[in-house]
Amino acid sequence: MYYSTTIFVFSLLFFNIKFFVPQTIFPTTSKDYTNERALKWVASKTSDEFLAPGFKKPKSEYEIAKKPLPFQETAIEKAANVASLIGVLALIIGIIFKYAKTKR
């Protein structure tokens, strides 16, 4: 079964190799995609659909924020973080005590 599947796949590739050749190759480097302009304007421009309704979209790269927006954690987020930490500590303590009891 595996031999026939392997032969079938390789024969398909062999006879259709012309479809696996790129039509064009762009002479670009990773810096073209990771420089500051590309990340802040080109890449973020394609993600406008994730903005909140009514959010004013920048029309040019000069309208984008130069400094990051201030981040302030809400009380609910702080409470959730504390609850998560307590849960993780309870799991760790429970595992340690269970391991200690089985070792005796």
Per-residue pLDDT tens for 45-67?
777 777 778 888 778 878 777 77
Measure the CA–CA gap between 72 and 67, rounded to whole angstroms. Answer: 15
Asked whether residue 11 is assigned to any structural domain, the reply reads no
Asked whether residue 99 is assigned to any structural domain, the reply reads yes
Contact assessment for residue 57 and residue 51, using Cβ atoms and an 8 Å cutoff: yes
Measure the CA–CA gap between 82 and 87, rounded to whole angstroms. Answer: 9
Domain tally, the chain: 1
Dihedral (CA of 57, 59, 61, 67) sign = negative
Asked whether residue 95 is assigned to any structural domain, the reply reads yes
Dihedral (CA of 49, 55, 59, 62) sign = negative
Residue 103 has pLDDT above 90, yes or no: no
Contact assessment for residue 40 and residue 65, using Cβ atoms and an 8 Å cutoff: no
Range of the domain at 80: 74-104
Q: What pTM was estimated for this model as a whole?
A: 0.36
Asked whether residue 91 is assigned to any structural domain, the reply reads yes
Q: Which residue has the higher pLDDT, 99 or 82?
A: 82
Average pLDDT score over residue span 61-90:
88
Confidence band of 76 (pLDDT split at 50, 70, 90): very high
